[in-house]
Amino acid sequence: MTVEGPVVVVGQGYVGLPLSVRAVQVGHQVVGFDLDKQRVDQLRRGESFIDDITDEDIAACLATGRFTPTDDPGELAGFRVAVVCVPTPLRDGAPDLSYIEDSARLLAPHLTPGACVVLESTTYPGTTEEVFGPILEAGSGLTAGTDFHLGYSPERIDPNNPTWHLQNTPKIVSGIDEASGAAVKAFYDTVVDHAVPAPGTREAEMAKLLENTFRHVNIALVNELAVYSHELGIDVWSVVDMAATKPFGFMKFTPGPGVGGHCLPIDPSYLSWQVRRSLGRTFRFVEIANDVNDNMPAYVAARVTEHLNRRKLAVNGSKVLLVGLTYKRNSGDARQSPAIPVAHRLADLGAQLSAIDPKVAAADVPDVVELVECTPEVVAAADVIVVLTDHDDVDWELIERYSDRVLDTRNRLASAGVDRL
């Protein structure tokens, strides 16, 4: 199916690129815009830079003649649908909406009557109507809801998930009025299997924050349980597995060295910030979860110290081998990875750090860490091995064969002597 006028996707990262590829696959003419010229050049060469999209996917899109990667704002002219998928980082505890605002200013001169603009970036409730829309109106001279459609549809990308991807994950859609909601849904109906209409943009924005806060709070729960279980001499992993046998009223979450990625370390704080700003209150669940999860890297470093002390070794001067630097199994994404602060804390204590990670990009490896191969010599030479990310293509059998000096924060290794979180 080919639609009249191109679809513009602003931002070609972990959210925008899969959307661009899927839109091309179903017949849309797509302009993939990104200010990162290196990223655009890679796409033009048919090269992907994220886990979920292959070079073959990009090449196939380019071969259709319906995919235009660009950093030229002039290429945005004449769009019928524009989707904004840009970062919304935290700055000093407050949401930084500058990328959203810049995207609105970028699109506004090219906005024409009847067009549809959708924000996908995670943000606090009210952003679409109170921040994004007014900038579009000011720059175009058009009125949202009267001259053009405006809506919000939160991204639900889970990098490297083999089961749930853009097409088969239900997509929340919303608009500032009924006509806008219908226009937003009409577009997403072409790219996903199931679109879920929301009553309005504020509800859709809040739903995204609920999803991520739910995960954040429950991960904090099991992380704190892991800390107390260790002190009580209880195997927290068996506790979680036993609780998970209950077929109702329980959802399994597992402990780890902290939280990472583009969502959990950031998104729940949008909600906390807005409650504090608008209501003068504290969102206690988020504040507690932040405190627990933010302190997990320090706890892991303390457990490394404890592990070495039992063998009459100091952290200072010890050879510490980290396994995994990215935030998630089988992903190359190191954004907000808890492994990074773990590494810096151990380096500050004087540890000699090396790391095994077949997924991580060299640019994401901290200066205090030497990236090494998983060999018998490397494993045997380490005073302690710290498992931080459990990639499937690490040689776990080799690690178990050549070392019994392991702190495993992911419950990947089965040896009886392994020290677990």
Share of the chain above pLDDT 90, in %: 86
Average pLDDT over residues 10-33: 97
CATH 1.10.1040.10 in the chain, residue ranges: 208-291
Q: Residue for token digits 């810096």?
A: 344
Contacts of 45 (CB under 8 A, 6+ apart): none
Cα torsion angle, 120, 123, 128, 131, sign: negative
- C-alpha separations of 2 from 5, 7, 12, 250, 265 in Å: 9, 11, 21, 45, 39
- 419: three-class secondary structure by DSSP: strand
The average pLDDT across 240-261 equals: 94
* Per-residue model confidence as pLDDT tens digits over 142-165: 999 999 999 999 999 888 888 999
Query: 7-198: what fold?
Result: Rossmann fold (3.40.50)
Per-residue pLDDT, 276: 86
pLDDT at 90: 84
Q: Which tops the pLDDT comparison, 116 or 269?
A: 116
For position 1, what pLDDT does the model report? Answer: 33
CA distance 53 to 187: 21
CA distance 119 to 240: 38
Mean local confidence (pLDDT), 363-381 = 96
Query: 203-207, 213-217, 271-275: lowest mean pLDDT where?
Result: 271-275
pTM, full prediction: 0.91
Give residue 277's pLDDT band: very low, low, confident or very high (50, 70, 90): confident
Which residue out of 85, 116, 263, 374 is catalytically annotated? 263
CATH classification for the domain delimited by 208-291, as one of 3.30.465.10, 3.90.1200.10, 3.30.530.20, 1.10.1040.10: 1.10.1040.10
Does residue 263 carry a catalytic annotation?
yes
**Over the chain, what is the mean pLDDT?**
94
pLDDT at 212: 92
Q: How confident is the model at residue 289 (pLDDT cuts 50, 70, 90)?
A: very high
Domain with CATH 3.40.50.720 in the chain: 7-198, 295-420
Average pLDDT over residues 166-182: 97
- Please state, in angstroms and rounded to a whole number, the distance separating the CA atoms of residues 355 and 146: 56
Asked whether residue 2 carries a pLDDT value surpassing 70, the answer given is: no
Cβ pair 78, 48 in contact under 8 A = no
In this structure, which CATH number among 3.40.190.10, 3.40.50.300, 3.40.640.10, 3.40.50.720 belongs to the domain 295-420? 3.40.50.720
Question: For the segment 92-140, what is each residue's pLDDT rounded down to a tens digit?
Answer: 878 899 999 999 999 999 999 999 999 999 999 999 999 999 999 999 9
